[in-house]
Structure 1
Amino acid sequence: MNAYITSIATANPKFKIKQQDVLDFMIKAHRLEGADADKLRVLYRATGILSRYSVIEDYTSSLVHDFFPDNDRLEPFPTTQDRLGLFQQEAIGLSVEAAKKAIGNVKANQITHLITVSCTGMYAPGIDIELVDRLGLNSHVERTGINFMGCYAAFNALKVADAICTANSNACVLIVCVELCSIHFQKEAHEDYMLANALFGDGAAAVLMSGRPGKGVNLKTTSFFNELFRNGHEHMAWKIGDFGFEMRLSAYVPDVIESGIKQLTQRLVNKSGVDKFDYFAVHPGGKKILQVIEKELSISKRENQAAHDILAAYGNMSSPTILFVLKRILDQLKAADNGKNLLGLAFGPGLTLESMLLTIEVH
């Protein structure tokens, strides 16, 4: 039996922020001047990001302070409790929006399993139960939570859904990934924090998977392979602090990915027997990451354009981002693409590298 992605949908908060506005906010928040401010400007120009989305209006203008205190030092700085309160308030709306679009005409009582994914907030009863109520799912729908795994977590959700659907052709699995990265802004002028602040935004994505293909274009989950590269353990971390979740993101992450991505892809090829890929869905963790992957796998920027487009328009939203890329590709596929193969890649704390082979089936 097989598993099929039959639908992907996305959602973003109402505040669309130009990268220049985020830069202006960060220079002020980090209290940078002269050469230090210029260094941050160079970093922001190098990201390849034009805009991002946030549930916090403060980033759009220095004149507006809705969440952070209205003073130059942003004191008292919001606590973890403050930030998770905002997560509980805002994440469910985005989750519902993405889920409703993904479900489409499928009846709510046909959904047998619900998988929720997040690393930027948690509470209980959580988003899974709120989704059951707001979407009208069966009270006995089987629920799984995937938490605190970071940017590659959607791959784990897809693998869980794949196992469910291949075991039961009648299964219908709804996956919902939601991340509010911007609520965890850290003002300390630490290089890792400033890099994370330059990249991350907010968003949600939902996927519908089934044991049977749907009408139109489907993505069959053909194979998965993941690997841990322990030499990158200290370069990416996500910890809970007193003032939000603290992202440690080193500029050396692309170097670790560069050293392992070819080996990872070859192992997927060995496992699946497929060595030709027609489409590429790469998690846009940053512009340099995309560039080193293109170099190592000998693919062009044009072949990887979906990742560049999502990075420019949304930044890195952690777990939903790869689903934004997949949707961009899925929306462009036609009947002539039947039988073609898609390579998906993502990475996160560990340092974890994930890969998957999807086969396009048109019905």
Structure 2
Amino acid sequence: MPLTAPRLTGVGTAVSATSYTQREVLDAFQITDPRVRSVFLNSAIERRNLTLPAEDARGVRAPESQGDLLDKHKALALDMGGEALRACLKDAGADLADLRHLCCVTSTGFLTPGLSALLIKDLGIDRHCGRADIVGMGCNAGLNALAVEAGWAAAHPGELAVVLCVEACSAAYAMDSTMRTAVVNSLFGDGAAAVALRAEPGGAPRADGRESPAVLKFASCVIPDAVDAMRYDWDRDLGRFSFFLDPQIPYVVGAHAETVVDRLLAGTGLRGSDIRHWLVHSGGKKVIDAVVVNLGLTRHDVRHTVGVLRDHGNVSSGSFLFSYERLLAEGVTRPGEHGVLMTMGPGSTIETALIRW
């Protein structure tokens, strides 16, 4: 008996309370090195939501211990995660009592019990709700989670599943004025995003009556030669975890983008030119440019990707859902149109999904 394709029936996002311009972040940490300032000011990012350490009596923001950062992650994850989940369910015309399976994604802190269990307790979700936690996969993990929940939704027709991506990037922030950390520190922002899925014969319309897209197919590409190009490891000098991004990663991702899209579209009768909507991870200016060039996209195709980067920075695993929310707000999608979702992250990995309205 064939499974019914699950549909995306709602989306919601949230950010932390305080937004900073790139200049304000530089000034907050008293960064004067012109090379570091140039990385920040040429990032195509105007503002990001961050939760920075408080100033002391001298106006200095002292580095936070790993323990303090884990506490920050937990507090921000519960706050942003709860807000994004509620917004998503409202958009789907559902409430917490309708939720049957929750998959939480994060890479900016470690929690045991996982975020899913903490949210079930914190929000009063039915204790029989199924759950899963995907931790440490990085910016690509939102689509890995979507594949998990799409499979669950297809196997449980009519029941509601949600993917919740929560990235408290302020809890992975190490300001030490080096060029290694400047690339990371100039890029990431706090954010959470959730998407609801339901598989029902005859479709699952959104609460606003618009067509909800069906999730048709997934395709992945791991690049083993670049396994160390993006990593989150222990910095013995700082006594805490630190994220590393190889400067060559935009070009590595770009060089493999066409391969994974070809695999995604294989057997569908579609070509790249048939895709009406592209929702690409806001990984950074150079990453976006590399994908545009290698896939032959236009600036219009990635307008939401660019807009999310400009307004929020890279919010890691949930970035593509911020773009998806903006696309829906435009009201330009039409029945029968196809879209491609694309994320990239450690592994190095490119994840894709094909959807159809």
TM-score (norm 2): 0.90
Shift of 1:328: 1.0
Partners of 1:107 and 1:94 in 2: CA distance: 17
Partners of 1:354 and 1:6 in 2: CA distance: 21
| Partner-residue secondary structure (3-state), 1:2 | coil
For the 8 Å contact 1:3–1:211, the answer to whether it is kept is yes
Structure 1 stretches lacking a partner, 5+ long: 59-63
Q: How many percent of aligned residue pairs carry the same amino acid?
A: 25
For the 8 Å contact 1:217–1:333, the answer to whether it is kept is no
- Is 1:6 aligned with 2:9? yes
- Is 1:329 aligned with 2:327? yes
- 1:312 is matched with 310
Q: How many pairs are equivalent?
A: 342
Pick the aligned partner of 2:39 from 43, 56, 64. 43
- 1:175 is matched with 163
- 1:65 is matched with 55
- 1:341 is matched with 338
Shift of 1:87: 1.4
Shift of 1:243: 4.0
Partners of 1:293 and 1:107 in 2: CA distance: 37
Shift of 1:250: 1.5
Partners of 1:246 and 1:252 in 2: CA distance: 18
Q: Deviations over 1:114-148 (max 9, x none)?
A: 11110111222332123213333211111100000
For the 8 Å contact 2:275–2:338, the answer to whether it is kept is yes
For the 8 Å contact 2:282–2:306, the answer to whether it is kept is yes
Q: 1:139 to 1:252 in 2, by over 3 A?
A: same
- 1:211 is matched with 199
What amino acid maps onto 2:129 in structure 1? Answer: V
For the 8 Å contact 1:284–1:307, the answer to whether it is kept is yes
- 2:187 is matched with 199
Pick the aligned partner of 1:151 from 124, 134, 139. 139
The within-5 A match list for 1:237-252 is: 237-241=231-235, 243-252=239-248
Pick the aligned partner of 1:232 from 226, 232, 240. 226
- 1:61 is matched with none
Shift of 1:44: 1.8
- 1:352 is matched with 349
Q: 1:107 to 1:302 in 2, by over 3 A?
A: closer
For the 8 Å contact 2:36–2:179, the answer to whether it is kept is no
Partners of 1:150 and 1:111 in 2: CA distance: 25
TM-score (norm 1): 0.89
What amino acid maps onto 1:340 in structure 2? Answer: E
Shift of 1:46: 2.0
For the 8 Å contact 1:83–1:244, the answer to whether it is kept is no
Partners of 2:64 and 2:42 in 1: CA distance: 29
For the 8 Å contact 2:220–2:352, the answer to whether it is kept is yes
Pick the aligned partner of 1:101 from 47, 63, 87. 87
Q: 1:224 to 1:79 in 2, by over 3 A?
A: same
| Partner-residue secondary structure (3-state), 1:121 | coil
> Which is helix-richer, 1 or 2?
1
Shift of 1:265: 1.1
Partners of 2:189 and 2:9 in 1: CA distance: 26
- 1:273 is matched with 269
- 2:28 is matched with 25
- Is 1:139 aligned with 2:127? yes
Shift of 1:232: 1.9
CA RMSD in angstroms, aligned pairs only: 1.9
For the 8 Å contact 1:109–1:137, the answer to whether it is kept is yes
What amino acid maps onto 1:235 in structure 2? Answer: A
Partners of 2:215 and 2:197 in 1: CA distance: 10
- Is 1:286 aligned with 2:280? no
Structure 2 stretches lacking a partner, 5+ long: none
Shift of 1:187: 2.9
Q: 1:189 to 1:233 in 2, by over 3 A?
A: farther
Partners of 1:314 and 1:223 in 2: CA distance: 29
- 1:92 is matched with 78
Q: 1:344 to 1:47 in 2, by over 3 A?
A: same
| Partner-residue secondary structure (3-state), 2:77 | helix
